[in-house]
Structure 1
Amino acid sequence: MVNLGTQPIRTQSDISEFEAEMTLEERLPEQSILDVFINSADRDPDATALTMLITGTEDEEPRRVTYKQLLGQIMRAANLFAAIGGEAPGVAFMLPALIETHVTLWGAETAGYAVPINFLLQPESIAELLKASEAKILVALGPHPQLDIWEKALAIREQVPGLVLVRVSPPGTPPEEGVIDLAGALMAQPDDHLTFGEARRGSDLAAYFHTGGTTGVPKLVAHTHRSQLVAAFGGAVMCGFRSDDVFTATFPLFHVAGTIVGGLSCFMAGVELLVMTPAGLRNPAVVASFWRLVAQYKVTIVGGVPTAIGAILQTPIGDHDISHVRAGATGASLLPPAVGQKFKEVTGCTLFEILGMTEASGLISIDPLCGTGTAGSVGWALPYTNVDVLKLESDGGLGAVCEIGEIGVVAIKGPHVSPGYSVPEFNSEVFVDGVLNSGDLGCKDANGCLYVAGRSKDLIIRSGHNIDPVMIENAMSTHPAVALAAAVGMPDPYAGELPICFIQVHTSDEVTVEELMAHAQNTIDERPAWPKIIKIVDEIPLTSVGKIFKPSLRCDAAKLVVSNLLREQLKLPDAHVQVEAGGPRGLCVTVCLSETDASSRSSVEKKLHDFLFETRVEVGS
């Protein structure tokens, strides 16, 4: 049975002692994901594994599932998927946060492999993911008044020959021809043994997680049973999870944050997961009543992405008793210092950062939740793994280890690293000689703490000067009116790029661009990093897990520049500008001129020639 140790991890020396006491194999003999649920059910069968809220109202009677019940449901699901999909079937799912989502995910990994799908994607993209993963089964939420998941599932079935559709619907929903009802089908399967032989294990494929864009050949990252187990073990140890913890399960299960640290790590330690409605912190009612729910369900660890944490901190605690909270945990994107400071002011607890990556089976490093916290740091590497900061060579390769404080590329090595992508051609620049190139820029301090400076691809390069957008964003986030800040490179014919910062303000605050510009110049030390433009927007685009979606903002920045150029320099106010992400130069700008302005085509082409993006100038509608 997994041995998480008896002493909490607080420092780097604690990790070293922990590793010296036992080998990884001695501490983590488990080889199958199913072993985690067997062990937890054996240890305390009646302990609550999942508490499910549907509405989050004060008088709601939540649905609770014990560890024994969860194990039984996972067994049933594994037997069902093997029965309808054959040997080691690929099981895709499009589901919000539900108990059935956990049952589907872990049952799929037990019988074959899971393919978690972001249900917000378009049907055509999802169909390509299913084809690339060779999934045989799709589990989807049935008809719903707010969500169009079922409509997408039906459209996808038409595009993927032989796909078996399994529906998750409330009891009493009328049957649908050619569709398997999950609840009824599960009850027809045994819950005390597997009908198809042994559970998948070791180096067997456990899951394919989609990463990257939604165009071109899908990038699917392979997880094995052992890689997920090692990552989850590291998460449980570094978070100091205990069997009396209650953790807010707000990360979606199509993302590794929800699957590993917000899922499997918790189950290893016997934690209770509080599922805060199917929409989680995307549900305004949950945000508005968050601290009441924390008090009502005696939450001990508050989890969420930084943008969601920032939102709940706008909700007054009032007279709710949140004394059970011992820590906060955040990841999926970098934490603005202002949010961390406010969390401390509001709760009296530290908000600890977690660094994860799909290619590392979900986790890389953690600022230990039992420690004192290191502001701005994502802590230390998981036990039995290595994280180095390496010099970036001129040819794009990784070189020697950087000095203390020197910025380089974060590189990871260990048994939690993915064996690679489903398409081997994608591996060449990411997986090199057993080392994972994260693409993150970072440095280490004298204590070995890791600090992430942002994504290498997000660097703003102004006349050869590398500007970290996180520095700009953190500075702008300290302004009391700023809810969210996002800095990207704005195309410039002379400097290549100039920094532009998009600002989303709190709805109750009023602030001018001039005030924000003054704040930038007073708080950003590097003059080249002062934003050339600050643009206040109604809403900064986010991904489905709350990360700022910078490709969209880069397009907006390029469109703004080109539109201004056409209007002010070439006197073409009616020209239409369209910007798309992608292509060999990152962006493609199309300018469409009216027939009246056709004579200006060569002038437009000449003006755009000096920019680094691709350009097209067309005439006509």
Structure 2
Amino acid sequence: MATLSVAAILAENARRRPGKTALVEGELRLTFGEVWRRALARAGALSGLGVRPGDRVALMAPNTAEFPVAYFAVAAAGGVVVPVHLLLSAGEVEHVLKDSGATLLLVHPAQAETGRAAAEALGIQVVTLGEEFTELAAGAEPLPSYVTRGADDPAVIFYTSGTTGVPKGAVLSHFNIVMNATVNAFDANDIRADDIALGALPLFHAFGQTVSLNSTWRAGATLVLLPRFDAARAIELMVKEGVNTFHGVPTMYVALAAAAPQAATLPDLRVCVSGGASLPVAVLERFEEAFGAKVYEGYGLSETSPTATVNQPLFGTKPGTIGHPLWGVDVEIARAEAESRIELLPPGELGEVVIRGHNVFSGYLGRPEATAEALVDGWFRTGDLGTKDDDGFLRIVDRKKDVIIRGGYNVYPREIEEVLLRHPSIAQVAVIGLPDELHGEEVCAVVVPASGTAPDAAAITEWSKGHLGRHKYPRRVEFADALPLGPSMKVLKRELRAKYVEKRADPA
């Protein structure tokens, strides 16, 4: 049996470059050797608490040094990490703990109240990160090395926010994560050992965990943690620490481009990767102009470890696309209506994005029916609609569930959002379909106004008429201070739909 462990990502660095700075958080600087020693000491404490290979250990912590140390401690002890999203209520945390079968919760003091309430309701043991975990580690025998695991054994269970129903646990193997980190580091973009990356994406989420933490360390590079994202603070920190690599979601790129003019100095960025949601071309252009850096947009899901495709220097880049598949991964377009089989479509045709390769998950924990629906003929069905052009560039058009059908015509919200973001009064926008007696569904734009502007709904609709087809322009425009975001920083359109269905539309 082939063996492999995510723990090797850190262990090998401790062996090859023990004195190199691995992690920076505020004034704290730790070398690879120091992080690994801390992880092994805590792995010893976990074994003492009864954690056995294959046991699930929930981890609830922000982007502080405690997260990677605890993460690699669980991996070293042979446990399975169950990351818990920080914005969940106690009831939602309880669902994750119960569904995953977690036997222990490691919780940061900042989340201790919510975490403890959930764990105590289920009679699950809790250890607080920081002082308590450090004391337990000091009194335990550190593990001599990491526990051997099978390459296909579970390493992490990510709870997907899902567009419907309760969150499901996507099971990723050691092979999934190590391969994704490796090809992200060495094949997709040119990541070097002397790079310094900003860890601003939440590490409890697949994008932050694989791309910021594991890929950066797979290359032997340094990770600078930013516990709470704030654009001005991020710019200041990147300049101070000499950061040249930034991973972010579109909302972060929007904020950085807006904050750039006020900054005294800007960082010299070499690699900028965007994912988590579609990056509007207008935002990409604003950011590239402000920072003089190229953005490589990619695409992935919790179920694909997460990266599936990305714009890569090797193939050239194309704004508005998600680039090409990663090394060893196939991404194609299949007929969306044929749900029980995979029928691949030729270039240029619109269909469902399907993925196969070393990055595809083992399945949904304890949900064979959901797994069978998602994994068809050896491919993972993403639920996203897209196209592939003659040069192999992939483009996401929209979520299958978000398509608006107005008067019998398919309307793709993403296309309308791209156009509206070029309006000077609009900072952010989400387009949704709302029930309409005459047309079935009506197009509604929920707009976050640009600061210092007082946009007028009728004026936006009028402007849209000149830029969009008659069945596409938003007849209804609503204003909001902010858009609701999910765990992966995607806009929660189901929440917007629920909110604005309540409000009766004014006839346009």
Structure 2 match to 1:271: 221
Unaligned 5+ runs, structure 2: none
Separation of aligned partners in 2, 1:323 and 1:261: 20
Structure 2 match to 1:212: 161
Deviations 1:336-363 (A, max 9, x none): 1111000111011111111110111111
Give, in angstroms, the shift of residue 239 of structure 1.
2.1
Question: Compared with structure 1, are the counterparts of its residues 207 and 529 closer, same or farther at alpha carbon in structure 2 (3 Å cutoff)?
Answer: same
CA contact (8 A) 1:245 1:299 kept: yes
Q: Does 1:135 align with 2:102?
A: yes
- Superposition pairs of residues 276-287 of structure 1, within 5 angstroms: 276=226, 278-279=227-228, 281=229, 286-287=230-231
Question: Compared with structure 1, are the counterparts of its residues 293 and 445 closer, same or farther at alpha carbon in structure 2 (3 Å cutoff)?
Answer: same
Structure 2 match to 1:106: 72
Amino acid at match of 2:32: Y
Deviations 1:582-611 (A, max 9, x none): xxxxxxxxxxxxxxxxxxxxxxxxxxxxxx
Question: Compared with structure 1, are the counterparts of its residues 426 and 254 closer, same or farther at alpha carbon in structure 2 (3 Å cutoff)?
Answer: same
Separation of aligned partners in 1, 2:485 and 2:164: 18
Give, in angstroms, the shift of residue 204 of structure 1.
0.9
Question: Compared with structure 1, are the counterparts of its residues 49 and 92 closer, same or farther at alpha carbon in structure 2 (3 Å cutoff)?
Answer: same
Amino acid at match of 2:52: E
Structure 2 match to 1:303: 247
Separation of aligned partners in 2, 1:441 and 1:532: 24
Structure 1 match to 2:302: 358
Of 345, 369, 374 in structure 2, the residue corresponding to residue 430 of structure 1 is 374
- Superposition pairs of residues 212-611 of structure 1, within 5 angstroms: 212-213=161-162, 217-236=166-185, 237-276=187-226, 278-279=227-228, 281=229, 286-317=230-261, 320-322=264-266, 324-368=268-312, 372-393=316-337, 395-422=338-365, 423-524=367-468, 526-561=469-504
Separation of aligned partners in 2, 1:445 and 1:498: 30
Separation of aligned partners in 2, 1:376 and 1:219: 30
Give, in angstroms, the shift of residue 531 of structure 1.
0.8
CA contact (8 A) 2:484 2:491 kept: yes
Separation of aligned partners in 2, 1:316 and 1:392: 41
Give, in angstroms, the shift of residue 515 of structure 1.
2.6
Q: Percent identity?
A: 27
Q: Does 1:186 align with 2:137?
A: yes
Amino acid at match of 1:193: P
Question: Compared with structure 1, are the counterparts of its residues 152 and 561 closer, same or farther at alpha carbon in structure 2 (3 Å cutoff)?
Answer: same
The structure 1 segments of at least 4 consecutive aligned residues displaced by more than 6 Å after TM superposition are: none
Give, in angstroms, the shift of residue 74 of structure 1.
2.1
Question: Compared with structure 1, are the counterparts of its residues 216 and 488 closer, same or farther at alpha carbon in structure 2 (3 Å cutoff)?
Answer: closer
CA contact (8 A) 1:306 1:331 kept: yes
Q: Does 1:151 align with 2:100?
A: no
Give, in angstroms, the shift of residue 320 of structure 1.
4.2
Q: Does 1:91 align with 2:35?
A: no
Question: Compared with structure 1, are the counterparts of its residues 187 and 508 closer, same or farther at alpha carbon in structure 2 (3 Å cutoff)?
Answer: farther
Larger CA deviation: 526-535 vs 510-519 = 510-519
Give, in angstroms, the shift of residue 318 of structure 1.
5.3
Amino acid at match of 1:184: E
Amino acid at match of 1:202: A
Structure 2 match to 1:6: none
Structure 2 match to 1:571: none
Structure 2 match to 1:595: none
Of 21, 37, 42 in structure 2, the residue corresponding to residue 77 of structure 1 is 42
Structure 1 match to 2:127: 166
Give, in angstroms, the shift of residue 507 of structure 1.
2.5
CA contact (8 A) 1:113 1:207 kept: yes
CA contact (8 A) 2:93 2:115 kept: no
CA contact (8 A) 1:350 1:373 kept: no
CA contact (8 A) 2:341 2:376 kept: no
Separation of aligned partners in 1, 2:328 and 2:64: 33
CA contact (8 A) 1:30 1:36 kept: no
CA contact (8 A) 1:51 1:275 kept: yes
Question: Compared with structure 1, are the counterparts of its residues 217 and 288 closer, same or farther at alpha carbon in structure 2 (3 Å cutoff)?
Answer: closer
Give, in angstroms, the shift of residue 119 of structure 1.
2.2
Q: TM-score if structure 2 supplies the norm length?
A: 0.94
Question: Compared with structure 1, are the counterparts of its residues 319 and 385 closer, same or farther at alpha carbon in structure 2 (3 Å cutoff)?
Answer: closer
CA contact (8 A) 2:45 2:141 kept: no
Give, in angstroms, the shift of residue 521 of structure 1.
1.7
SS of the equivalent of 1:451 reads strand
Question: Compared with structure 1, are the counterparts of its residues 239 and 120 closer, same or farther at alpha carbon in structure 2 (3 Å cutoff)?
Answer: same
Q: Does 1:43 align with 2:16?
A: yes
Q: TM-score if structure 1 supplies the norm length?
A: 0.77
Amino acid at match of 2:34: Q
Question: Compared with structure 1, are the counterparts of its residues 223 and 548 closer, same or farther at alpha carbon in structure 2 (3 Å cutoff)?
Answer: same
Question: Compared with structure 1, are the counterparts of its residues 141 and 391 closer, same or farther at alpha carbon in structure 2 (3 Å cutoff)?
Answer: same
Of 203, 206, 210 in structure 1, the residue corresponding to residue 152 of structure 2 is 203
Separation of aligned partners in 2, 1:359 and 1:45: 33
Amino acid at match of 2:60: M
Separation of aligned partners in 2, 1:258 and 1:166: 24
Larger CA deviation: 87-96 vs 505-514 = 505-514
Coordinate RMSD, CA, aligned: 2.2
Give, in angstroms, the shift of residue 30 of structure 1.
7.6
CA contact (8 A) 2:447 2:478 kept: yes
Question: Compared with structure 1, are the counterparts of its residues 155 and 318 closer, same or farther at alpha carbon in structure 2 (3 Å cutoff)?
Answer: closer
Question: Compared with structure 1, are the counterparts of its residues 109 and 424 closer, same or farther at alpha carbon in structure 2 (3 Å cutoff)?
Answer: farther
Separation of aligned partners in 1, 2:395 and 2:209: 24
Give, in angstroms, the shift of residue 371 of structure 1.
6.4
Give, in angstroms, the shift of residue 399 of structure 1.
4.2
Question: Compared with structure 1, are the counterparts of its residues 214 and 113 closer, same or farther at alpha carbon in structure 2 (3 Å cutoff)?
Answer: farther
Question: Compared with structure 1, are the counterparts of its residues 33 and 46 closer, same or farther at alpha carbon in structure 2 (3 Å cutoff)?
Answer: same
Give, in angstroms, the shift of residue 464 of structure 1.
2.5
Deviations 1:169-216 (A, max 9, x none): 4x5xxxxxxxxx11111223455614xx73334111111110135985
CA contact (8 A) 1:491 1:557 kept: no
SS of the equivalent of 1:539 reads coil
SS of the equivalent of 1:400 reads coil
Larger CA deviation: 366-375 vs 476-485 = 366-375
Give, in angstroms, the shift of residue 544 of structure 1.
3.7
Separation of aligned partners in 2, 1:248 and 1:109: 23
